[in-house]
Amino acid sequence: MYYVKKRLEISAAHRLSLDYESKCTQLHGHNWIITVECKSETLDTNGMVTDFTAIKEAVGKRLDHKVLNEVLPFNPTAENIARWIVDSVPCCFRCEVQESEGNSAIYEKDDA
């Protein structure tokens, strides 16, 4: 099995839709650290699992310096963003989304 990992830092704002009172329902921003992990049993014709630039385009270009509520069709929690990235990036099986120091969410695709 081949594995690649891409770490990106993006700046983006969001506001959460919550069923309890929280300051996070107000528009605020983070310098997000996103770690995308991909795997494949075989390499493509270029000898890659996936191109690092393709990951940067799929994630960074879509989310960096954006209001996430305006570009994502769901409540932009770290958990939901991690799941969206796994579903959006070819060969991606795991993603960690850190929205601030000490606060991160991980989504990992179950191979079963």
Q: What is the domain partition of the chain in residue ranges?
A: 2-108
- Average pLDDT value for the chain: 96
Q: How confident is the model at residue 110 (pLDDT cuts 50, 70, 90)?
A: confident
- Which H or E run includes 4? strand 2-14
pLDDT of residue 64: 97
Identify the three-state secondary structure at position 11: strand
Tokens representing residue 19 in the block: 């069923």
Q: 2-108 belongs to which homologous superfamily? A: 6-pyruvoyl tetrahydropterin synthase/QueD (3.30.479.10)
Average pLDDT rounded to a whole number, residues 63-77: 97
